[in-house]
Structure formats: structure tokens, C-alpha cells
Chains A and B, each alone.
Chain A
Amino acid sequence: MAGKTLYDKLWDDHLVRQNEDGSALIYIDRQILHEVTSPQAFEGLRLAGRKPWRIDANLATPDHNVPTTERSAGVDKIEDPVSRIQVKTLDSNCDEFGITEFKMNDQRQGIVHVVGPEQGMTLPGTTVVCGDSHTSTHGAFGALAHGIGTSEVEHVLATQCLIAKKMKNMLVRVDGELGKGVTAKDVVLHIIGVIGTAGGTGYAIEFGGSAIRSISMEGRMTICNMAIEAGARVGLVAVDDTTIEYFRGRPYSPTGAQWDAAVEAWKELVSDEDARFDTLVEIKAEDIQPQVTWGTSPEMVAPVNALVPNPDAETDAVKADGIRRALQYMGLKADQKITDIQLDRVFIGSCTNSRIEDLRAAAEVVKGRKVAPTIKQALVVPGSGLVKAQAEAEGLDKVFVEAGLEWREPGCSMCLAMNPDKLGQGEHCASTSNRNFEGRQGFGGRTHLVSPAMAAAAAVTGHFVDVRELMQ
């Protein structure tokens, strides 16, 4: 019998019941809640007179709607009434049901996918769900993590289980050594460029190979975060020493004898040598350059030194049409240099790239430089209050502010423009977030996805530039 993949092991470990029709009940160890997709789920519980199955499996924090400007006046002073109500509702629901919540001005508050791992809530071998598609992030720790809808949030609250069907296994292996200035974000954008935004549909993707092994936990989270942009609800990285070290001393990590037992168990969380994957994608690390998306889908991506593609050179009529529409929306010309794209705003943040390592990389580039005068706004939004505090302890906030970037309070911010941070119509933004869909960062806004270092380089030059040129 062939060995098991990491995904197979996680699935088998959580199987409560297999139904004849192929669906199954899997047990959920951890659920993270935020203000946008939870209110109706709580309301559903109330209407049905149900209680959460297990309080201690849940953790909540508001992130999507919270303002990232000075907010010490509290939730009552959130200007947008709809946002205010959603944040207050999360607070009152958590109070009513006894769920642990890091409220807006708690230092532990932040983006759900930053907070979960940071607290050791997400642990290797757990199942993690959240009403947010980027829950795939948590797979970086060898956890089985799914984004779910509101009715499923309620289902998990009430039953501690999810109705799921087993996915297929894909291995994306990145071998070799990453070049200087090439980051995890470039790796995942490159992968999406290779397999396409639907390439991972129906699969759990495991990222492996020597290049992935050499990447830090922060970087692995960036990669798994965007598995969903490749169509896969689940991204995974096998557990190794880097994973285990990450959890030492986290607030919800096991301690003492339980730590030792946990580490023993976690070491099993790798795909067996003889495991069978349905699909294998092999990538050479040396082929990966700093990436920039030029279009309106994450697969519309190219190396920074390339040209914007020409639809006339595309033989597939549907694709050519897609390129034409994207260029039209983005206000770009075929065959223009990517480095000639002028920018209006820069956003460094989001669950993809708002961790300490991301901020360090951006600060290193802007240090001693100034934001270009043509840039209207350059935002740095840390992923959590703890990341913010750490960055301030390292003096990164001063580096940013001296260079002319704004240093903000933690939240999702301009990633989806549900709070006041938005792009104006037609504005180009170098953004470290994960989606470049039409209107994502504001009506008519034009998003280019890049790494934090590339975003910082764009901020100080006013256009895209190969960050390696600034690293001499």
C-alpha cells in the first residue's frame, strides 16, 4: 500500500464519520471568528436555541472593518455606522456566548490569519476554519485549514464538525536556492502564474522542496495564504524544526510534558516517502524573479523586468480577450515595460504580508530614502497589535515615518476597502495583498500585487523597479 500524504494523514486524523454519498464529517479543532461573516451564524444559534459545542475551540477578533487610524476613542467612535455595528455585534456575541475575543483596542487584536498562529491557537495537526477564504494560511504549520461560509460557521459552532468531501492531492515542489531579493511572495505569485487561478481547484496543495524548507514560517504563511488564489481551498507545508521552533512559548502552545508529547506527534506530520500525489508540479527556485501582477487576476503576473503581454501574441482567443479587457481596466499598453508603470499609492499589509519579517524587508529598502513625490499615499499596516509593538521596539516605525510612509493600527485596511482606506478611480497601487480583482481596493482602483520589498522599492521610486537594484 502506498504511503499517505500529509493531507491524507490530517484528513484521517479528523474523520468522525464517512457517509455513503462521499461526504464526511470532520472534527474541527479551531475556529477563528471575525465581524463580517459571523453575525448571522450567532443569530442562527440564538434562533434555534443552540449553544456552541465547545467554547474553548473558538477565538474571535475584529479585523475587516476596523479603522487603522488613531482609534483609542473606541468602537463607539467608528465613523461608518455599518462597520461600527458589525464590530459591536462581534463584541456582544462573544460576550454573550463566552467566546474569547481580542477586541479592537486589545494589543493582541489583528488580522485573523496573523493572530491565530501568533497566539499558538493554530497548531500543527489541527483543523482550523474561519469564515474567510484565506484561512489556507494556517496550512503553513501542517494544519488542515479551510475557509468556510456563514452557514458553515454556524454549523461548526453548533457541532464542532464540518461537512466536507475529501480533496485530491497536489505537490508543488520548489527546489534549489532562491536568489537575493526573491521572497516567498514572489514564489507563490510565480506558482500561480504557472498553474493558473483554477489550477488547484479540487486539490489540497502541499508546497515542498528544498526552497520551501529554507523559507521562514512567515514566508510559508504567505505562500499558503495564496493557495486559494491558485484555486485550492487548502495549502500545506510539512512540519519541520522551523515549524516546531515557531510555537515554543506561544500563549496557547502546550508546555512541559505536553509540549514534548506534542512535538513527538507533530514530527509525524509529513508526507510519507512513498505517498502518491494526483498531480506534481516542479519548479526551479533559480527561475523565480521578483514578480508584479499587471492584470485583474493573480495569474496575470510577470517578472518585474518583463513587458506587459500583448494580446495579439496570444493564440488562445479567450485568453487574448481576457488580456485585452484587463489592460483596458488597468490602463496599460501591450508591450510596455512593467518598470514604466507609475504608481499613486502603496499598501504594505494584509494577511499575506503584514508580519514582522515583511515589515523588516520593507523597512530595509526605504531606510534612508524618501517616498517619491508622485506617490499620494504609502501605508504600512501591521497585521496585529503585537506585530506593531515588535516593529516599534525595533524602530521600524521611525524608519517608515522618516521615509514618508504612514504607520497605522492593525487590520485588513486597504486589502478590501471595507474601512476608509481605499483607492480612488483609476489609481495604481503597489500592494502586498492577495487579490487584484476589479474594484477590490476601491471602485475603479488598479491593484498590482508584489512583495513587501518590491512595494517599498516602488514607494521610493514612484514606479516599479527591480528591488535588487536598490539592494547593492
Chain B
Amino acid sequence: MRKFTQHIGIAAPLDRANVDTDMIIPKQFLKSIKRAGFGPNLFDELRYLDEGQPDQDCAGRPLNKDFVLNKPRYLGTSVLLARENFGCGSSREHAPWALDDFGIRAIIAPSFADIFYNNCFKNGLLPIVLPEAQVDQLFKEVEATEGYQLTVDLERQVVVTPSGEEFAFEVDNFRKHCLLNGLDDIGLTLQHADEIKAYEARRRESAPWLFDAIK
């Protein structure tokens, strides 16, 4: 998994509550056999004026010019500001996959749906919970200033505004450790690679017929 230590990037305000996973990535795209490539269909129904189909080239589709991520000033957004209960609905891991593929690295909201929140950490995304008043303030500032960038510092657990103001956030120690070091379950297990190899060597001794048979 990709490490997350510190990130500086353009912020965009997605001003609606209860954004569900169907909105993040509609169901017709789940038939894909991939984990990557969902970016062009992120927020498909909000982003385009027509109905999206799997495997369609999105370049020629009519854009909804009013949708925040379509506005030129938010091009290259990597920090998403959102409202409460972001990511509610189904457990599809396609939602964080789509956000990630689009280029989002951190999401700031007053609250997140549980499963989505968990899924983010598995995929190197950082969901940040800040009090409603602070999120409100960030919404106002980002709308007022073109090119507004936020700094997210996971090590210090703060969001820093362009003026230098800092907002502290909470994050579970274990998850923080995993993100800082780029460790997923697999990465963690591989920290014990020596033990696995030692076991395997013993296994090869005691049950040699289980090795090199399937070719």
C-alpha cells in the first residue's frame, strides 16, 4: 500500500450530506474485474449529463459544468471537503478505489459511514473527521480563494490552511502506523516473512510431497 505521511494539494468542496457509495461509484461499474480504473466514473451521475455505461470512453461525454470537480479552478483536486455521513450505503470497496484512482488522497468531513471509513485505510486514503464548525470554515475559505491548498500532516495529526492555521484530528494508532509505513494486511504479514520461510522449510522436510507437484 502507498504510504501516507504528509500531503499538500488542492481542496474542493462537495457540499452535500449523505453522499452514498452508489453516488461515488454507480452499480453498473462493479462488474469490472479491476480495482483500478474507476476514476473516470467517480461520481458518474453527478459529473456527467448522460447515463454512464461500463467500458465507455468518458472523454466525449457531456459534462455537468455545475459539478464542483468539473470546474477549472478545482482541476487536480486531491483533498475533498465533504459533509456528514460521507460514504454511506453498501460496503463496496469500489468506492475508495474510485476516489483513489481519481487522485483523491484525503477526505475531510464531520462524519463518515463506518465501512467506508475502514475501506479507506485499506487503500491508502486518509479520511479525516473535523468538528462541523471547522469543516464549515474550510468550506468558506476554499470557496473564497482560487487555488486554495490544504496540507494534511498525518505524523502530527493536523490539517494546515494556507494562512498557517492548524486543525488537529484524531486517528487510531494502529491505522496511523499502517498508513505512515504503507502497510496493508499483506505488508504486515510480510514483516514476518522470515517466520513464514522458516515454517516453509520445516514443511518441506516433513511433507516434501506438497512441493513442486503442481506445474
A residues in contact (CB < 8 Å) with B: 16-17, 25, 27, 29-30, 39-40, 43-44, 47-48, 50, 53-54, 56-59, 82, 85-86, 89, 100, 120-121, 123, 125-126, 151, 154-155, 158-161, 163, 252-254, 258-259, 261-262, 265
Contact = CB atoms under 8 A, between A and B. Distances in A.
Given A56-B212, A58-B214, A158 B190 contact: yes
B16 interface: no
A120 B213 CA distance: 10
A48 B192 contact: no
B77 to A, nearest CB: 22
B206 A29 contact: no
A43 B33 contact: yes
A120 B33 CA distance: 30
A158 to B, nearest CB: 5
Nearest to A35: B33
A40 B35 contact: yes
Contact of A158 (B35, B186, B213): B186
> Interface size for chain B: under 10, 10 to 19, 20 to 34, or 35 or more residues?
20 to 34
Contacts of A151: 93, 122, 185
Interface string B178-213: 000000111001101101100110010011111111
B196 A100 contact: no
A27 B209 contact: no
B215 interface: yes
Contact of B214 (A40, A100, A258, A261): A100
Contact of B192 (A17, A40, A121, A252): A17
B75 interface: no
B186 A155 contact: yes
B192 A25 contact: yes
B190 to A, nearest CB: 6
B115 interface: no
Contacts of A258: 208-209
A58 B190 CA distance: 19
B31 to A, nearest CB: 5
B214 A155 contact: no
A41 to B, nearest CB: 9
Contacts of A158: 186, 189-190
Contacts of A262: 207, 209
A25 B33 contact: no
Contact of B189 (A48, A85, A163, A253): A163
A123 B210 contact: yes
Contacts of B196: 16, 25, 27, 53, 159-161
B92 to A, nearest CB: 11
A259 B210 CA distance: 11
Contacts of B193: 159
Contact of B213 (A47, A48, A56, A86): A56
Contacts of A17: 192, 195
A151 B185 CA distance: 9
Nearest to B206: A265
Nearest to A19: B192
A7 B91 CA distance: 32
B209 A123 contact: yes
Nearest to A86: B33
Give the most central of B1, B35, B185: most A CB within 10 Å.
Answer: B35
A56 B215 contact: yes
Nearest to A16: B199
B189 A39 contact: no
A85 to B, nearest CB: 6
A48 B214 contact: no
| For the complex of A and B, 8 pairs with smallest distance between CB atoms | A254-B209, A39-B33, A159-B189, A258-B209, A16-B199, A252-B213, A40-B35, A43-B35
